[in-house]
Chain A
Amino acid sequence: MDIIIYGTINSVALALYALGFALVYGISRLPNFAHGALYVLSGFVAWSALNILGINYLLSILLAIAVTAIVGSVIYQFFLIRIRGMEISEIIATYAIALAILEGLRWGGFKGMTYTLPPFIEGSAAIGGISVDYQRLLTVGVGAALVAFLWLFTHKTRIGLALRGMAQDERAALMLGIDSDVMAVVAMGLGSSLAALSAMLLLPLGNIVVESGYNVLILAIAVCIVGGLGSWAGAVLAAFIIGFAQILTAVYLGSHYQMVVALLAIILTLIFKPSGIFGQQKELEERV
């Protein structure tokens, strides 16, 4: 029973990590290696707003999300837009940005175990004899709501449709008057704010540490690759597969092996089914 509950929570957390990465890659084909760094950055912005500026918790969360979205858009507008389409340069550049943000934060004194965000709601509920605190339940709820919201956003609103159009066929989108540069900036801003949102939900469960930036990135990439890059349904399904696999290994083998599972999943998926669970045939051509 506890495997099911904690597996579900872990899977939702993984899906939240991956959503922003999948969104940016799906729309502008940018492998955003700075995703984990933006996640950590938003945590520290919220912490600073709460403890140094001393403003309301809800306001500081909103501030953190806004700041992260702006940072993401600015990075795209001023740096990444110049190397658009050059995959290798994109990887190296975003990776350099990630290193600069994370190591900059570490240098700025944000290290150790002292940085925590308070949970939104204290207390816990008992489900099937196992007590689960409200924060984790809230995460699952918000995670589900977020997936639903994103589906609605990309299928019903003008911007969402424009983003999807660009993801499907950029040249056709250009002919229909969609400015692909603007849309790419919007996508990057949206992806960054998703990273921040997931940070706001998940960070109260533990400490804010710089190292988690690298782990979040690896997990996000793992989920996206196993699920098939650019595929939403695949990403969610892959989050559940890896999430449960991690909990199972933690229970039966020891928590040391959790990260090994994610890395092994990436390597095995790329070797045996490079397009991922839900990847289309077209993507296979690009990869192999």
Chain B
Amino acid sequence: MHFQLRYKVVFAWVIGLGLFTACGKNYDDPGTEFAPNMYHPVAYEPYVQIKNEEDAGKRVVAEGEPSDYESANSYNPYGMSMRLPVKGTIPRRNFQTVYGEGTNAVTDLMIYDIHRDSIEVAERTLKNPVPATEEVLAEGKVLYSRYCQHCHGENGKGDGLVGKAYKGVPNYSTGNYKTMNSGHIYHVITHGKGRMWPHGSQINPSERWKIVHYVHTLQQLD
């Protein structure tokens, strides 16, 4: 009898553990979180979007009570946490305004309110505030490889892998493209031109000017 009881206990354990572990791999399931309110906090997170209160309440322990974490944002459309910046405002903290040191320092506010159709104005008025040092060129090259290369190609020949599929990517070092000035290139990066769409949202002004320096070296290639 003693043995049987022991077997029963063991058997119960085995069944219990078996059930506990019986869940198969589900790629859509992130698994058990041991401190859920640390993964889904009360505070609004930029990328979190809770569309309605019911969804927010799903994770609450007691039924009917409001959730103490993952609050729905009832003020923004679609329950989003992020909002668009106010129109016409410029986030200054992202923008470097002084370049060079000592007497060579150039102050540039980089607020260019040039309309996207006024590329001639950009060509005429914009001057590159970033000095063309070796360091800047190296940075420009890195930035070019990140934001431009897949279309414009490693040497600006318009032969990037995406560029071939996208079609209509110019070669920097031929025809009219060879002599395009800094203001023009800066304006095209910011607002796009022809088939190229604006990239101002991805690359900030100082980075654009560094890329402009590097593009000038690509224009000189054969």
Does A pair with B? no
Binding site for B on A (CB under 8 A): none
